A and B are shown apart, each in its own frame.
Chain A
Amino acid sequence: MRHLRAALARLAGVFTGHRADDDLREELQSHMDLHTAENIRRGMHPDEARRQAMLASGGLTAAAEAVRDQRGLPWLESAAADVRYALRALRHRPGFTALVVITLALGIGANTAIFSVVRGVLLKPLPHRDGDRLVYLRHSIDGPARGNMQFSVPEVGDLRAGAPSLADIAEYSPWFGTLHGTDGAIRLDVGLVTGNFFEIMGLAPILGRLTRPADDGTGVPPVMVLTHDFWKRRFGGDSGIVGHQVRLGSKSATVIGVLQPAPYFPDRVDAFTNMVISDHHLSALMVLDRSHRMTEIVARLAPGATLEQARAEVAAVFTRMQSQYREAYDPASHHRVVVAPFKQVLGERARLTVWLLMAAAAFVLIISAANVANLTLMRGVRREHELVVRAALGAGVARLRRLLLVENLVLAFLGAVLGVFIAAFGVGLLVSFAERYSPRAGEIRLDAWVLGFALTLSVILALLLSFVAALPREGTFASWIAAGGHRVSTGVRRQLLQRGLVVAQVAVSVVLLAGAGLLTRTMMRLADVDTGLVTENVLTLPVPLFDPTRMDFTSDGAAKELYDRMRLELLALPGVTEVGLGSTMPLRGSMIAFDVAADGKALAPGEAMPHADLRTANPEYFRAAGIPLLNGREFSPTDQPGSGRVTIVNQRLAEALFHGEDPLGKRIALRGEVLRFTPFSGDWRTIVGVVGNTQDGGLDTEPRAVMFMPFAQELTIFGGLVIRAERDAADLAGTATQIVRRMAPQAPIENVLTVAQIKDQSVAPRRLNAALLSSFGILAVIIAAVGIAGVLAFSVSARTHEIGIRMSLGADPGRVQRMILREGGVLLAIGLVMGLAGAFFGTRVINGLLFGVAPHDPITFAGVAAMMAAIGIGACWIPALRAARIDPAITMRS
């Protein structure tokens, strides 16, 4: 109580100090008067009486100072004085201040922005209750695009029974439907979930309720939980939405609640429903077939159970399943299951990229800090005089150090404030960037942690900067002062430090540029990839007519007829040269794939049966899409349901099945247990043609094996139109969409894109990577160039006298210029060599982001070295030129 009261009184004293000063002066004066009066009374001469009183006082100024220290908080007041002084000093050098603040702001801003991504996407605790206890199970086998096979319902049942470390398993099946509203049809991406899903995930509703076990099984009404995002987007955050019916295909579901904002996983969905909405998900195929894998699973570890226990149990269950059900697990495919923490899985795709950017941002900060350190060193020389005067007036080393620290803190804070502004502008951009990699992009924001990060960075920078400036050690102070106005520390140490910083800047820039260069080269390589088809002038228009809520194939004939009518109508448009029909658009992956067997061909022991994407196509499809026919014929109008079953394979499937033999006339068939439950037959089909491979799985992967079947001979589960035009097909998109919407108002028409646009979309994330890293690289080079130029310019100004003497002794300007260039060139060369060495080892970590270039691609390295050298020499040129223009007559006189 007493201390608190005293502290408050002193704090108040900080602000009321000047008023109390008058009071104190009067009190001390009255003391002295009383003393003098008493002395006189004792018989002293008045002058002597006053003198004695004055002597006894011990000095009025000292007393006032002592009282002032007791009155307020001296350290606070002197800190405030330091800040005031620092601000005044910085105001007097606006150029220096602006340069330092902007340089620091760029460094701190870049780091703050990227750290907000690191935190939002990788570090922040999951919004799920006890999110650290969630694990994700991934089932994979060998082969392209088989990294995530998902699970079948019987497999999930076995895991539930055999892995007690998993408290329970939530099932999730990606699905989509057509949402019918007053404004037409839209495609709705839906997660079909078991009733325990949200309980296990640890998520809560913000409105209404979530699904629960009572919503499982048949004979229950379909219910829907909206994601927060979709609720805002589609229903404007209407709080009265609960209880509403929405039409989904032929069924309707009741909205029962809205989910809290949460990372989408594994797909971005608009809503969740119970399984009953999809006939398929309650069919025998789904429920009983062990190889019908359509379910993603997330489990919660049982209390006390560890990840290792869960891993061991899951592995044991899987081994048992493989020996028990041999037909569902082809040993040649190497079935395996990985159990990974859910949080880690959410960050999987983003991790490498995000840390890479964080490293790049850190590099930019290192370069900016080096620049600022150099500026501070140079300024330190110029203000040495001032510091000597201060020291002579009684400031100790600690006091001077504190003064520098306060000054640097002010600079760093200004830099941090500006940097956070820069970051705030960048965050929006980064969210859209991160959305391509992470389901948690929505969680990126400048929160207290991120601001704390920026603050910490600025304090660390200020501390570092305060200690690069040379101050004498405590004992040597006198000699420092004695040296007075002369330059005390043009010393070797400072010069070495400055040069070392320049070398480091160049080296770090080179590493960054090398990374940026490799990613840019990757982009160029990807752009050069042959997609296998003609991408210009082709418009794709997917038209989903099939209603996935109901496995009803009775209207297939009518659907085919409608597709044909659309085809003819679009063909009649001016400028359209060909229209094809098919299940899947060019460059898009097929959603259906089967094992394929060749008639009369036995598999070698241990050889996995070839796996092929299934696509349907009408006779015109190949010409419209520009897929080259290599051998045989295209489908013909006579390939009808009643006629013989025919197929066209791509080169890759032909190769996998026949190993170089002529595939024409050979027979192949779909295989596997799963066929029993599908509308596709395992009949033999005769190969009538071979077409070229296309990059449907992405530009950077091996082409996939594809088996085409006549559009007319198979059910149209998926369907769409491929339109070839004379000129730019994008112009047709509006008209074509209108026509199709009019003819099929119940179908959601989305993603009407040219093939070139689809290709472009598939490389967009990489392009963003390359662009971000390149901008960091360019930023680094600019800052480094300013650094080199600054250090050389300083060196020139410090050597003006010397250069003047050289010139008066006969050195011509060209020679002087070469001398300065050489000085910079040596630093540049050392930095280049070190940077290239660093890049040689450093670029290995980004191997996973590269395509078609080695991590130490010589062309990239040479280009980077040339670019850095050119910019570096350019930066040296300016100070060199200035050195050459020094007039010896003027220099010598000054």
Chain B
Amino acid sequence: MAEKLDVKQGTLALMILKTLEVLGPLHGYGVARRIEETSKHRLTLNYGTLYPALLKLEQEGFVTAEWRPSENNRRAKYYALTAAGRKQLAREARDWHRTADLIAAFLAPRREAP
């Protein structure tokens, strides 16, 4: 099995927002599956991590939640991105890239050092 990673709160929020942007409205299970698959199962999300994160995004107004029938005719709570959420995603993604670049630049010379 691949090495398991911890998910940071802010990172998880970004992943959820991106998932909802790509796949459209989705229930919690779907979000979890998608994140796990995208990470090639290096990340696993238990309920206690996923649902507080979803609730927090809802409280901040980045996603909305709604009960709807699911694909196999069960009821599930679907989360959808709001306009504010879309903006937040863009902002966080940009920040993340910047940080990643910065860290990469910072770490690069180290490898060359004697």
Contact = CB atoms under 8 A, between A and B. Distances in A.
Given A34-B70, A56-B46, A66 B61 contact: no
B51 A6 contact: no
Contact of A63 (B33, B44, B47): B47
B94 interface: no
A33 B74 CA distance: 9
B52 A69 contact: yes
Given A27-B77, A30-B70, A34-B70, A66 B28 contact: no
Contact of A31 (B28, B49, B55): B28
B60 interface: yes
Interface in A2-58: 2, 5-6, 9-10, 13, 23-24, 26-28, 30-31, 33-35, 37-38, 56-58
Interface string B13-37: 0000000000000011110110000
Interface string B40-61: 0000101111011001101111
Q: Which of B30, B59, B75 has the most CB of A within 10 A?
A: B59
Nearest to B72: A37
10 contacts: A9-B59, A27-B76, A28-B51, A30-B76, A31-B32, A34-B72, A35-B29, A37-B72, A56-B46, A59-B46
Given A56-B46, A58-B48, A5 B55 contact: no
A71 interface: yes
A63 B51 contact: yes
Contacts of A60: 47
A151 B91 CA distance: 80
A60 B47 CA distance: 7
A23 to B, nearest CB: 8
Contacts of A67: 48, 51-52, 55
B48 A59 contact: yes
Given A28-B47, A31-B27, A35-B29, A5 B59 contact: yes
Nearest to B76: A30
B72 to A, nearest CB: 6
Contacts of A63: 46-48, 51
B29 A70 contact: no
Contacts of B56: 6, 70
A62 interface: yes
Nearest to A62: B48
B45 to A, nearest CB: 9
Contact of A57 (B46, B52, B58): B46
Interface residues of B, number: 25
Contacts of B76: 27, 30-31, 34
Nearest to A57: B47
A31 B47 contact: yes
A70 B46 contact: no
A66 B74 contact: no
Given A2-B61, A5-B60, A70-B56, A30 B47 contact: no
A39 to B, nearest CB: 12
Nearest to B62: A2
Contacts of A5: 59-61
B16 to A, nearest CB: 14
A612 B84 CA distance: 93
A557 to B, nearest CB: 98
Contact of B60 (A6, A23, A26, A38): A6
Contact of B27 (A6, A13, A30): A30
Contacts of A13: 59
A26 B72 CA distance: 16
Contact of A66 (B52, B60, B72): B52
A62 B47 CA distance: 9
Given A30-B74, A34-B27, A37-B72, A24 B51 contact: yes
Nearest to B32: A31
Query: Lowest 6 A-B CB distances belong to which pairs?
Result: A58-B46, A63-B47, A9-B59, A70-B52, A63-B48, A66-B48
Contacts of B60: 2, 5-6
A31 B72 CA distance: 13
Nearest to A9: B59
A526 to B, nearest CB: 74
Nearest to A34: B29
Contacts of A28: 47, 51
Given A5-B59, A58-B46, A30 B75 contact: yes
- Of B28, B48, B56, B61, most buried by chain A (CB within 10 Å of CB) is B48
A66 B50 CA distance: 10
A371 to B, nearest CB: 48
